[in-house]
Each structure stands twice: as structure tokens, then as C-alpha cells.
Amino acid sequence: MELAYTRDDEEFRTRLRSWLAAVLPTLPPRPDPLDWPARRAYDMGWQRRLYDAGYAGLHWPQAAGGRGATPVQHLIFLEETEAAGAPYVGAGFVGLLHAGPTIAAEGGPAQRARWLPPILRGEEVWCQGFSEPEAGSDLASLRTRAVRSGDSYVVTGTKIWTSHAEVADWCELLVRTDPEAPRHRGLTWLALPMDAPGVTVRPLRTLAGSQEFAEVFLDEVRVPVGNRVGAENDGWRVTMVTLSFERGTAFAGEVVACRRTLRQLARRAQRDGRWEDPALRRRLGRLNAEFTALWRLVQWNVSEAAHALRHGGSGVPGAGGSVFKLRYSHARQELYETAAAVLGPGSLDLAEEWTRERLSSLSYTIAAGTSQIQHNIVAERVLGLPRGR
Amino acid sequence: MDFRLTRDQEALRRGMRDLLAARFGREELRAAVDGADGAEGADRVAGAAGADRAAGTDRSNAGEGADRAGERSVPGGRLWRELGAAGLFALRAPERSGGVGSGLPEAVLVFEEAGRALLPGPLVATELAGSTGLVPGAAEGTVPVTALAGARAGDCALVEHLASAGAVLLLEEGRPARVLDPAAPAAVPMRSADPLTPLHRVRAPLPGPDRAPYRSADGSADGAVDGGEGAAPDGGVLLLEGALLAAAQQLGSARRTLELAVGYAREREQFGRPIGSFQAVQHLCAGMLVRSETARSVVYAAAVTADEAEIRAAKLLADTAAVDNARDCLQVYGGTGFTWEADVHLHLKRAWLRAEQWCAAAGSEERLASALLRPAGR
């Protein structure tokens, strides 16, 4: 049980901190959240600075052009960038956290050379085409068809909840190549160029009023066979590599941010007189305990992942990620419910950042695997309960 | 940073688990419950042991009734002396004074096992007294020590195992810890909800002249005690250490009720299949794991940092994990869970009790709220 960081790790932290202190004041102003091209440019500009400073693909293996940093250093990176108020990964999310690691793990040499460097340099944006209108939690039931025709697959179907689709260059696409096979065994992973003929993007408006994701219609889109990563009909296994990345340390920076928000909430309550309400104070105190524990849970999971990596494992947090996601998504919603209690009538004012965050927090128990699906995963894969229906 | 347990820590935990399995397995637990039940609370049994000790005799050494059901685990009895010999009550005392010389993380692992096994007795206060050397005999397990911990002056507080205790630790924030004669405080016995933990309501002493009625264990008037080696430790520090050890017990209980629920859900069949294959039951069990894993992270971290806010956070989450896991375990057990024969109620009642002791929720939530107003590094 050691929470102190090694001297190497502390040096890494110090260098990162001084780089952040130097670079952050030179960033352009943040773009309008509704202006997608501006957001893309901003996020890619930040990624380019990370690349130039040697921080791009920190947790990627060196063979893939990454830094091969330890899980602990990756955690320090997430902690420090958030604490310094650095930009979030933004439009780089799918490339850096899903598609890139998948290509690094499963792609051939030419595929790695083609797709990985532009992700690291902040030149190409990826989006994710997994979910479909009829295939949400039951992802393996997806119907988008890919039929082999010469050197191409001809793809037809509809994808949904695709973040960054409007500004993406590539889409990591999961398609059905063998409708006769058992459902997990007829799927294939393809890299779809978003400018291919037959691709139509229709933005979806979220309940928060923003356009964070889109529906993607595919009408006989031709995708070269060379864009297939992994074997035909092996796409389910290939995809699972990316999904576990998604639930790993992706939220570590957000825990740091939530703890900052919590302190701001307390000061706001004190200023507005709501601090006199003992029920509200106790709710804030309970949240302090909650986020203290969540940070420690991140460190626990990272320690487990680092240990596994040293002993030949993938370094990808496994089911521990599901436990964390269940608890964190609930805590985040409770944080912004409490913010609404602090704001009182102001909680209905969309000019308040916390009002908007309250709305977007509603997605946390749904996106990247609903809480119900996460409970199933924990029950069956961690606790070993018999498979249910 | 490597948050995982070291090999030595794993071995320590395994050793404690094996020791408790051999010395206080389910049979001994149920014998203790039945003994206490027959005597309407362990008070009478424990009280008799206390009287024997006061008279300079030792019931279990004298042979008479030594193996009577339920008496082996009485505080100060044979099991306690065995645990004392194993170092349970002197974990953190320096080796030169006959202690184990471990730190809080090791103490937490050992107390987690005690909570898992539902080991009865005033374990936390006795460990504090033994590790600090405040009460002679505490470290050896021959003198059980209870505590009047963290109550505001004049408040009525719960004190466990008063009748069998040889001393009472009075722990107040901002004052040195003091040792009181168990006969000193005005105490009213309760019919304890936890069959293995006799309870008294005790009025916490008021500051100043009102302290007079409280004699110290060594007979001095104001109850202040010289720990033997310089000044007595700060009551607030011991209070927090006690809260952490209680949190560790809660964690052990929470992880145990999860195991019980999962085991039962795998075995019990309805509609022709194990109930653990139904999502309604699966989700209860998964929620229990989420609670215990989250609580574990902060309890272990608090053992490493010994930071006040982190200890309070650990106690809050461990209390919730223990109580809610016992509740959900009871639900998974169905009708069986409502019976005296199942162990679930023992976990639930002990969890309720520990949630009231050693920094209860209301006070800690207030402290953790105030902490948010202080400028923080991160």
C-alpha cells in the first residue's frame, strides 16, 4: 500500500507542470461550443502542441509511436492537465482512446503507418460507428451489412450516437459480414473514410440543446478491403479491445474536475446563504467523501493495471473499470443535483454552467454501456454469477 | 505509487484470517450468540467475567465453565488472550515494548478480518490502549478496554462492553486521552440490538469541576493518566485512529456479506435455476461489490495518509457499505435472511452499531463540508 510517487514519476510531473504553465497562456480563446469546425481546429491544435512536446500518445506503446509511459504516468498526465485547466482531449477522443489503440494492437504495419501518426499529430479526427438504432446495449445484434465485392466491402446501414461525426475524417465501423454466423462471429471492423460517396451525416440534438453526436447513414458505401483491421468476422474481439480502453482511466481527469466543482459549490452556497441549511452542508460533505474515494479507486485500478502490465498483461483496466464507471456516473449526477440545490431557482437558468452540466450529466449512466449493462458485466464477469437473460 | 498490498501485508491478512477461522469460526460465533441470547444480552456473562477479574480470579483458568458455550470469546477470556498473544492489541506498539511495530495499514488489514469474522468485544479501544501503552494488560488481551469516544460534554453516548471492561478510554478532541474506571461513569444499561455487544448509555463528563465524579483507573482524582512514558496521546488523534479501525471492520463485514450473498445466489434455485441468474438479484450483488470496492480504496488510502478528512471519508463510506451490503444480503437470502439462524442479521446489527460509534455520519459530513471551504492544493 504505497501512495507516494517514485522520483521518476515526480520528475515527470514537475516537467509536465512547467510545460503546462508555459504553454497554456499561449492558447487561442476557447471556441463556441456550437461551432464544430472551430472546435475541431482548437482540439487538434492542442493535440499538435502535445505532440511537439512529446506528450502525444503517452499511454500508447512505443512501437505504435507512443511514449510507452506507465499507467501511473498516464494518470499523472490526466491529473495535471485537468488541474492546470488544459483543454480536454475533445475531438481527438475516439482516435486516441478507441480507434488508435485498436489499430496499434490489431492492425498490420501498413495500417499502423497510415493511421497512427496523423492521430498523434492532431491531423485526423476519428469517430465511432458501433451503435445502431436497433442495436444499443445489445451491440452484437447490429445489422449494418458489408458485402464483399472485389477489393471492397459495400456497406449499407445506419449508425447512431456517433460523436464528432460532422468533423471526422475516419469512422471505426463495426459491420456484419456473415449474417449466417452466430451473432458475435459475423462481425468485422473497418476504417471508413467519412468523405466516401454514400455517407450522410445527420446531427442529433441532445436534451442539453447541443449537437454532440449524429446519425450516420451508409448507402452502398465502398470501403477498401485494406481498411479492415483484424480478420473478417473477427470484429467483435477486435472491438472489445477498444471498449475496455473507454472504461479505463478515461474519467480520471473528470474526478479531479468534480472535486474542484465541489469546492466551488461550497463557496457559492456560503456566499448565497444556503450554507445555513444543514441538510445541504451534509450533502456536500458526503460528496467530498465520495469523490475522495473515487480518486483512490482510480489509483487502485491504475496500480492493478500497472502490475498486470509488468507481468505481461495489456495494462488495460478490466472489470475494475465497470465498478468505477458505475460509481462515478452516479456520483457525477448527484454532484449536479446538489449544484441545483445550491442554485435554487437559478438551476433553471441555462446561463449557469452547472445547469448545463446537470443536463449533460444525465448521459453518464447511459453512454459507453448503461449502468444496467455494467451491473450485468460485474455480476457475471467479476462475481461469477450464472449468465442470465 | 503501488497501492496494492505488499506480499507481507497479504501474508498478515491471510494469517489473521486463518487464526480467526481456527479460533472463532462459525460454530464459536453461534455458540457465543446462543450464550449471550440465553443470558439476555452478553452483559451477564461478561459482567461475571469482569467481577472475577476484579476479585483476582480467572474463570477460564480455574476451569469451571471455561468451555461453556459462548464464554470462550468473552472479552478478557481465552480467545482474547490468544489474540493478545498473536499481537492483535499491540499491533502498533514499538517492538521494544513488546508490540508488533506495524503501521496503520497493517492494523487496518487485521481489523478488516476481525470485522469479517464478527469477532466480538471492544477491539478498537483495546488496540488503542494496547498500542499506546495507556492501560497495562490491554496489549496482552487480559484487560479489555472500552471507550467513551468523541461525545460532546454532557451528551449521552453509547459505551460497549462496559461490564467486562477493565478501563474506559475517554477520548475528546483537543484534550489528552484519559483512562477512567469502568465503575466511574453514571451508566444505564440498554437491551442491545446487537446480541454480541452489550451496551450502556453513558453521560459524557462535562469539563471543569464536573469531572470530579469520574475517578481514573489508577485512583487519581481528575482521571488524567500518565501513560508511563511522557504525556498521554491526544484524544482527537486516538479518536480518528479508532474511526479508521472501525471503518476497517465495516469493510470486512461489507465484503463478507457480499460473499454470503453471491454464494447463496449461486446455490439457491427457483423457477428451475439459480436465483443468481436473474438480473434483479445480479444487480443487487453487483451494487454490493461497487460499494465494498469503493470503500476499500478510501479505507486503505486513509491508512496510508492518516489524514483526518480521508479517515472521516473512509468511515462514512465503510459505514454505508457495511449497512447497505448487509441489507442487500438479507434481501438476497429472502425469508432465510429474516431468521435468527442466518448470520446476516449479526452483520447488519453490528454494522448499525459501528456506524453510531467512532465518528458517526452527521459530524463527519459537517467536517467534510467545512473542509471544502479551506483552500486546497488539489
CATH code of B312's domain: 1.20.140.10
As a whole number of angstroms, the distance between CA B220 and CA A138 comes to 73
Residue B289's SS3 state is: helix
In a domain, B82, yes or no: yes
Interface of B with A in 325-344 (CB under 8 A): none
The answer to whether residues B141 and B247 belong to one domain is no
B378 and A256 within 8 Å at the Cβ level: the answer is yes
Q: How many domains does chain B have?
A: 2
Mutate: best of B368, B370, B374, partner A, most A CBs <10 A: B368
On whether both B129 and B221 belong to a single domain, the answer is yes
Question: Do residues B77 and B42 share a domain?
Answer: yes
3-state secondary structure A53-100: HCCCCCCCCHHHCCCCCCHHHHHHHHHHHHHCCCCCCHHHHHHHHHHH
Same domain, B211 and B251: no
Q: How large is the C-alpha radius of gyration of chain B?
A: 20
Minimum distance, in Å, between the CA of residue B1 and any CA atom of chain A: 5
Q: What is the DSSP letter of B143?
A: S
Identify the active-site residue in A106, A166, A246, A254: A246
- Does residue B313 sit within a domain? yes
Residue B49 has pLDDT above 90, yes or no: no
**Residue A128 and residue A99: Cα distance in Å, rounded?**
8
Task: Find which of B294, B296, B320, B324 to mutate to test the A interface (most A CBs within 10 Å of its CB).
Answer: B294
**Whether B300 contacts chain A with CB within 8 A:** yes
Query: Which run of H or of E encompasses A266?
Result: helix A252-272
pLDDT digits (tens, 9 = 90+) for B203-228: 877 654 444 344 455 545 444 444 44
B3 and B88 within one domain: yes
Domain membership of residue B208 as a residue range: 1-233
DSSP 8-state secondary structure symbol assigned to residue B337: G
Cell, residue B327:
441489507
Q: Does B278 touch chain A (CB under 8 A)?
A: yes
Both B57 and B147 in one domain: the answer is yes
The backbone torsions φ and ψ at residue B103, rounded to the nearest 5 degrees and listed phi first, read: -105, -175
SS3 state of residue B298: helix
Residue in A closest to B265 by C-alpha: A385
CB-based contact B312 A282, cutoff 8 Å: no
Strand partners, A228: A190
Q: Which of residues 230-259 of B touch A (CB under 8 A)?
A: none
Mark the ranges of chain A whose per-residue pLDDT is less than 50. Answer: 246
Q: What is the pLDDT of residue A6?
A: 95
Separation of alpha carbons A364 and B344, rounded Å:
34
B306 — contact with chain A (CB < 8 Å)? no
Grid-cell match 447490429, residue found: A142
Report CB contact under 8 Å: B282, A83.
no
Rounded CA Rg of chain A: 21
Q: Give the integer Cα–Cα distance in Å for A151 and A184.
A: 24
Q: Can you spell out the DSSP letters for A100-130?
A: HHHHHHH--HHHHHHHHHHHHHT---EEEE-
Alpha carbon distance B171, B202 (integer Å): 13
Q: Are B356 and B150 in contact (CB under 8 A)?
A: no
Question: Which residue is it, cell 469451571?
Answer: B64
Question: How far is it, in rounded angstroms, from Cα B274 to Cα B317?
Answer: 31
Segment B225-284, tens digit of pLDDT: 444 445 678 999 999 999 999 999 999 999 999 999 999 999 999 999 999 999 999 999
Mean pLDDT of B141-149: 94
Q: Which residues of B touch A3 (CB under 8 A)?
A: 1, 3, 301, 304-305
Q: Does any domain span residue B224?
A: yes
Pair (B267, B350) in one structural domain: yes
Torsion angles phi and psi, residue A163, rounded to 5 = -70, 145
* DSSP H/E element including B188: strand B187-189
Of A64, A58, A46, A60, nearest to A15 by C-alpha is A58
Evaluate whether A127 touches A99 at the Cβ level (below 8 Å): no
User: What b-and-e string marks burial along A188-198, b requiring 16 or more CB atoms within 10 Å of the CB?
Assistant: bbbbbebeeee
- How far A362 CA sits from the closest chain B CA (Å)? 20
Give the model confidence (pLDDT) of B75-104 as tens digits: 888 889 999 998 899 989 888 887 788 899
For residues B74 and B349, give the distance between their C-alpha atoms in angstroms, rounded to a whole number: 18
B256 within domain boundaries: yes
CATH number at residue B66: 1.10.540.10
- Sorted by where each starts, the structural domains of chain A and their CATH numbers stand as 7-88 (no CATH), 126-232 (2.40.110.10), 247-382 (1.20.140.10)
Give, for B146, the enclosing helix (H) or strand (E): strand B145-149
Q: Is the pLDDT of residue B42 over 90?
A: no
B378 touching A, CB under 8 A? yes
Q: Determine whether the interchain pair B9/A1 forms a contact, defined as Cβ–Cβ distance below 8 Å.
A: yes
Q: What is the pLDDT of residue A356?
A: 94
- In-domain check, residue B338: yes
Higher pLDDT, B55 or A22: A22
Half-sphere exposure of B103 (CA within 13 A, CB side): 12
Instruction: Tell me the average pLDDT across B61-78.
Output: 59
Confidence (pLDDT) at B56: 39
Is residue B378 assigned to a domain? no
* Interface membership of B156 toward A (CB under 8 Å): no
Asked whether the beta carbons of residue A282 and residue B366 sit closer than 8 angstroms, the reply is yes
Q: Are A168 and A214 in contact (CB under 8 A)?
A: no
- Domain shared by B223 and B243, yes or no: no
Q: Which amino acid is at B329?
A: C
- ∠ at Cα B190 (B189, B192), nearest 5°? 130
Residue B314 located in a structural domain: yes
What does the pLDDT read at residue B64? 38
The residue type found at A280 is L
Do residue B317 and residue A290 have CB atoms under 8 angstroms apart? Answer: yes
B124/chain A closest Cα distance in angstroms: 22
Predicted local confidence at residue B156, as pLDDT = 81
pLDDT tens, B172-194?
Answer: 888 899 999 888 778 999 999 99
The cell numbers describing A160, all together, are 447512431
- Residue B217 and residue B321 share a domain: no
Q: Do A293 and B298 touch (CB under 8 A)?
A: yes
Contacts of A33-36 with C-beta under 8 Å, sequence gap 24+, read A33/A210, A34/A210, A34/A211, A36/A166, A36/A167, A36/A211
- B207 plus B63 within the same structural domain: yes
Q: Which residues in chain B have their CB less than 8 angstroms from residue A262's CB?
A: 372
Q: Which of B217, B233, B249 is the last residue of a domain?
A: B233
| Strands (E) located in chain A | 126-129, 145-149, 152-163, 170-176, 187-193, 199-204, 213-224, 228-229
Decide if B162 is inside a domain.
yes
- The answer on B38 and B166 residing in a single domain is yes
Alpha-carbon distances, residue A51 vs A20, A48, A58, A169, A190 (angstroms): 13, 5, 10, 19, 26
Which phi and psi (to 5°) does residue B233 adopt? -65, 160
Alpha carbon distance A229, A126 (integer Å): 15
- List the single residue in B276, B297, B376 with the smallest CB-CB distance to A385: B276
Q: How far does the CA of residue B364 sit from the closest CA of chain A (Å)?
A: 8
| Interchain pair B289, A6: CB under 8 A | no
Best B3, B284, B368 member to test A by mutation, with max A CBs in 10 Å, is B3
Q: Is B152 exposed, middle or buried (0-12, 13-18, 19+ CB in 10 A)?
A: exposed
Residue B228 and residue B257 share a domain: no
Count Cα atoms within 13 angstroms, Cβ side, for A47. 23
Residue A220 annotated in active site: no
Task: Decide if A376 and B282 are in contact by the 8 Å CB cutoff.
Answer: yes
Last residue of a domain, one of B191, B217, B233: B233
Q: Nearest by CB to B2, from A2, A294, A388: name it.
A: A2
Residue B88 CB coordination number (10 Å): 26
- The CA distance from B9 to the nearest CA of chain A, in Å, is 8
The interface predicted TM-score of the complex, written ipTM, equals 0.92
Kindly report the backbone phi and psi dihedral angles of residue A80, in degrees, each rounded to the nearest multiple of 5, phi listed first. Answer: -70, -40
**CA–CA separation, B10 vs B17, rounded Å?**
11
- Single out the residue in B187, B206, B233 at which a domain terminates: B233
> Does B378 sit within 8 Å of A259, measured CB to CB?
yes
From A193's Cα to the closest Cα of chain B, the distance in A is: 40
Please give the Cα distance from B358 to B117 (Å, whole number): 20
Spatial contact of A252 and A80, defined as CB atoms under 8 Å apart: no
Q: Chain A to chain B, count of Cβ pairs less than 8 Å apart?
A: 183
**pLDDT for res B98:** 78
**Whole-angstrom Cα distance, residue A145 to residue A174?**
9
pLDDT computed for residue A95 by the predictor: 94
Q: At what angle do helices A252-272 and B361-373 cross, to 10 degrees?
A: 90
Which three three-digit cell numbers place residue A40? 475541431
| Residue in chain A lying closest to B10 (CA) | A1
Cα–Cα nearest to B82, from B168, B11, B141, B147: B141
